[in-house]
């Protein structure tokens, strides 16, 4: 961790560049920029990704969601051109499930469920 005195030696362009990388305002006097840089470094704030980096990271996450341990990579449902059936036909392929089966499944979890915003 560097001191406030060291930040005063930085030029305005360096201060603005650092603030931009952290997602902070880059306008203001040199003293304001020094204060922002110092606070950012003291709080150990992470770098903010630009839009292109965010899109790339989201694409990687999405592709990882399409992978399953048992059958490998699944087709992307947003880009299917063949083999797609609507909900009315598709639900006909579902196995028969009774209300008791669903309740039994939730009961077997013994509270090991991520409730999130749901009440179970």
34-60: per-residue pLDDT in tens?
999 988 888 888 888 778 888 898 888
* Residue 95: per-residue pLDDT: 80
67-112: per-residue pLDDT in tens?
877 777 888 878 877 777 788 888 888 888 888 888 888 888 776 6
The residue ranges of every structural domain in the chain are 4-43, 51-108
* Residue 27: per-residue pLDDT: 93
Contact 37, 18 (CB under 8 A): yes
Q: What is the dihedral of CA 77, 78, 81, 84, to 10 degrees?
A: 40
pLDDT at residue 120 tops 80: no
Mean predicted confidence (pLDDT) in 61-66:
86
Q: What pTM, to 2 d.p., does this model score?
A: 0.43
15-25: per-residue pLDDT in tens?
999 888 888 89
* Residue 23: per-residue pLDDT: 85
- Which bin fits 29, alpha (ψ -120 to 50), beta or left (φ > 0)? beta
* Residue 1: per-residue pLDDT: 46
């Amino acid at each position: 961790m560097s001191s406030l005195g060291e930040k005063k030696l930085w030029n305005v362009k360096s201060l603005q560049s650092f603030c931009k990388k952290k997602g902070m305002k880059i306008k203001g006097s040199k003293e304001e920029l020094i204060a922002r840089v110092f606070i950012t470094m003291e709080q150990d704030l992470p770098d903010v990704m630009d839009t292109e980096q965010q899109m790339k990271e989201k694409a990687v996450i999405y592709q990882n969601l399409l992978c399953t341990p048992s059958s490998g990579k699944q087709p992307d449902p947003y880009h299917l051109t063949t083999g797609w059936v609507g909900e009315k036909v598709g639900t006909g392929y579902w196995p028969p499930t009774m209300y008791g089966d669903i309740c039994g499944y939730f009961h077997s979890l013994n509270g090991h469920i991520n409730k999130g915003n749901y009440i179970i």
